[in-house]
């Protein structure tokens, strides 16, 4: 195996209001949550139902904050077309995406918590974007998305994970065998069992759409899919 893979992180804070210029403490709270969630050391892991306990995964990926770039902007919302990643559009250019996870923290608008780019895409737009009030678990945060799980979810996409329902009906796959089929996202805080497609949904998976407090695991199959992209010749091989 590849052992522990450490990901150096660059956080770009693009702010219009003082609130959006989130504190170092808020940024550090998010880095800590990523570290907990990707090493199965989150303190809510004990809520996983017995059915799914055998497939709970320690992904064995860690995160280290390398640099915070702060920039005032006259823009009050940024949308989802990557303007925040481009200095010529008032954003902040990605820093060496082969060797750093770039996270842009800026108001996306439209009620969107975050979005991500899958591995293998354009280097200049590689990374994840998260609105400030859904980043970390202290400071300028907004319930029920105030436990830092938006970044966990988006970094899951950045590491090649699909939503657990495969973004389609029962037969649409997420390319992970141990996440049961489902026909759509779950929201809020579903009770167990939640049955769709004749199996119990893994609603507590980070790649569903539930509230932050109700998602607390990755599966072994997801771990294998994520770690595969770090192999020699893979799209994130340089992080090893």
Binding string, residues 114-143; x marks residues near ligand ARG by CB under 6 A? xx----------------------------
Tell me how far, at minimum, the Cβ of 81 lies from ligand ARG, in Å: 15
Which residue among 20, 51, 53, 154 is the active-site one? Answer: 154
Is residue 44 within the footprint of ligand ARG (CB under 6 A)? no
Nearer to Ca ion, 85 or 163 (CB): 163
Binding to Ca ion, residues 206-225 (CB under 5 A): none
- Least spacing, CB of residue 239 vs Ca ion, in Å: 26
CA distance 20 to 135: 11
Q: Can residue 212 be called a binding residue for ligand ARG (CB under 6 A)?
A: yes
Helices (H) and strands (E) in the chain, counts: 3, 7
Whichever of 45 and 90 has its CB closer to ligand ARG, that residue is 45
Cα distance between the two ends of the chain:
11
Residue nearest to ligand ARG according to CB distances in the complex: 150
**Exposure string (b/e) for 81-109, b if CB count within 10 Å is 16 or more?**
ebbbbeeeeebbebbebeebbbbbbbbbe
Q: Give the integer Cα–Cα distance in Å for 184 and 227.
A: 26
Q: 10, 103 in Cβ contact below 8 A? A: yes
Nearer residue to Ca ion within complex by CB, 62 or 200? 200
Out of ligand ARG, Ca ion, none, which partner does residue 113 contact, by CB within 5 to 8 A per kind? Answer: ligand ARG
Q: Closest approach of Cβ 215 to ligand ARG, in Å?
A: 6
Q: Which residues pair with 104 in a beta bridge?
A: 12, 129
Whichever of 118 and 209 has its CB closer to ligand ARG, that residue is: 209
Beta strands across the sheet bearing 128-130? 61-72, 5-15, 101-105, 128-130, 114-116
For the bound state, the minimum distance from the C-beta of residue 42 to ligand ARG, rounded and expressed in Å, comes to 14
CA distance 56 to 166: 19
- Contacts of 231-235 with C-beta under 8 Å, sequence gap 24+, read 231/2, 234/119, 235/119, 235/120
- What character string, x for contact with ligand ARG (CB under 6 A) and - otherwise, covers 140-179? -----x---xx--xx-------------------------
User: Could you list the active site residues?
Assistant: 154
- Site of interaction with ligand ARG (CB under 6 A): 113-115, 145, 149-150, 153-154, 209-212, 215
- Site of interaction with Ca ion (CB under 5 A): 174, 176, 179
């Amino acid at each position: 195996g590849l052992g522990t893979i450490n990901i150096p992180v660059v956080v770009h804070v693009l702010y219009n209001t003082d609130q959006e210029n989130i504190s170092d403490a808020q940024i550090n709270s998010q880095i800590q949550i990523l570290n907990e969630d990707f090493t199965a050391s989150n303190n809510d892991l004990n809520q996983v139902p017995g059915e799914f306990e055998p497939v709970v995964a320690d992904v064995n990926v860690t995160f280290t904050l390398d640099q915070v770039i702060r920039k005032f902007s006259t823009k009050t919302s940024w949308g989802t077309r990557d303007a925040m990643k481009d200095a010529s559009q008032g954003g902040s250019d990605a820093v060496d995406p082969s060797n750093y996870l770039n996270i842009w923290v800026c108001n996306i608008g439209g009620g969107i918590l975050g979005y991500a780019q899958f591995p293998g895409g354009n280097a200049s737009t590689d990374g994840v974007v998260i609105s400030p009030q859904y980043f970390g678990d202290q400071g300028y945060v907004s319930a029920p998305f105030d436990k830092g799980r938006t970044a966990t979810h988006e970094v899951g996409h950045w590491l090649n994970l699909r939503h657990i329902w495969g973004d389609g009906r029962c037969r649409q796959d997420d390319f992970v065998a141990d996440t049961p089929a489902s026909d759509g996202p779950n929201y809020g805080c579903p009770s167990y069992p939640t049955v769709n497609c004749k199996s119990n949904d893994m609603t507590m998976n980070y790649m569903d759409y539930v509230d932050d407090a109700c998602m607390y695991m990755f599966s072994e199959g997801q771990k294998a899919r994520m770690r595969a992209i770090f192999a020699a010749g893979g799209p994130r091989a340089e992080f090893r």
